């Protein structure tokens, strides 16, 4: 594996990292589609993440807020994978993180917020579907914890939703455009802990490869993009990602010297 890592990281100065739920499982946040994933165990749970259902059914909204008021992500700490990517940035390597996750753990680990593109939004903000006002999630969750089942906007009375992209919603055009630019400019694309089944985020792998980058996929299970990859890693993320980032940091240090 070390020889393969040396080959993948050779002549690389710009790195893009696409991260999915698998990078956060070591922090105690369950993934969605894995063998013990949230939607694998309870397929109906995906209903509460569907925009049309959320907007039209107060009972769905009640289930959504009840699910998130005590979600594991509120208390989660970054793990070795998150810290490895933050350390890579601190080494001076040009690195951008394109994350499908909404948990904010990359920033909590020390990655610069401006270098983290949250493709699917963030759970740390709530947005009003009427006046579009954004507020910290803690403000709304405290209302839910106090017994308000379906909180509405205190300013205009419209429906509130977590600041995340639900099924049936489009990604922010500016965010996905910026992510595509990063993918086209990188020399190495690391896809870490993502099933690569959710588009258009997954297609960033193809964008990178078509622009000449190497693609290395670090994921427990096969993905639809495996055939494009220069390397496939099935080892635990927390064990192998620090080795990959250390090799990248070491090569950056040698280049600077």
Which active-site residues does the annotation give? 120
- Kindly give the pairing relationship between strand 134-136 and strand 121-128: antiparallel
How far is the C-alpha of 49 from the C-alpha of 144, rounded, in Å?
18
Quick check: 171 and 179 in contact, CB under 8 A?
no
Q: Which two tokens stand for residue 78?
A: 């970054």
Q: Is 156 annotated as a binding residue?
A: yes
Task: Name the strands in the sheet holding 160-164, side by side, starting at the edge strand that comes first in the sequence.
Answer: 134-136, 121-128, 160-164
Q: Is 131 annotated as a binding residue?
A: yes
Q: Is 205 annotated as a binding residue?
A: no
How far is the C-alpha of 214 from the C-alpha of 77, rounded, in Å?
30
Q: Is 186 annotated as a binding residue?
A: no
∠ CA 97-102-106, rounded to 5°: 40
Q: Which residues are annotated as a binding site?
A: 128, 131, 153, 156
Q: Which residues are annotated as a binding site for Zn(2+)?
A: 128, 131, 153, 156
């Amino acid at each position: 594996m070390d020889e393969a890592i040396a080959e993948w990281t050779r002549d690389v100065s710009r790195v893009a990292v696409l991260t999915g739920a698998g990078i956060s499982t070591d922090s105690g946040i369950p993934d969605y589609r894995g063998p013990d994933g949230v939607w694998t165990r309870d397929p109906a749970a995906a209903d509460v993440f569907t925009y049309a259902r959320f907007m039209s059914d107060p009972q769905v909204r009640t289930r959504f807020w009840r699910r998130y008021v005590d979600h594991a992500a509120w208390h989660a700490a970054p793990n070795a994978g998150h810290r490895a990517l933050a350390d890579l940035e601190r080494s001076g390597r040009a690195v951008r993180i394109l994350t499908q996750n909404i948990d904010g753990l990359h920033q909590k680990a020390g990655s610069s917020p401006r270098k983290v593109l949250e493709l699917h939004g963030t759970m740390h903000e709530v947005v009003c579907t009427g006046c579009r006002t954004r507020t910290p999630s803690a403000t709304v969750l405290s209302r839910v914890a106090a017994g308000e089942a379906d909180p509405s906007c205190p300013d205009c009375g419209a429906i509130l939703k977590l600041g995340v992209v639900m099924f049936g919603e489009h990604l922010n055009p500016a965010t996905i455009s910026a992510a595509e630019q990063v993918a086209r400019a990188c020399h190495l694309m690391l896809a870490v802990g993502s099933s690569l089944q959710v588009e258009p985020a997954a297609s960033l792998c193809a964008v990178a490869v078509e622009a000449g980058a190497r693609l290395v996929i670090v994921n427990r299970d096969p993905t639809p993009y495996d055939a494009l990859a220069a390397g496939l890693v099935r080892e635990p993320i927390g064990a192998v990602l620090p080795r990959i980032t250390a090799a990248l940091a070491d090569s950056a240090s040698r280049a600077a010297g």
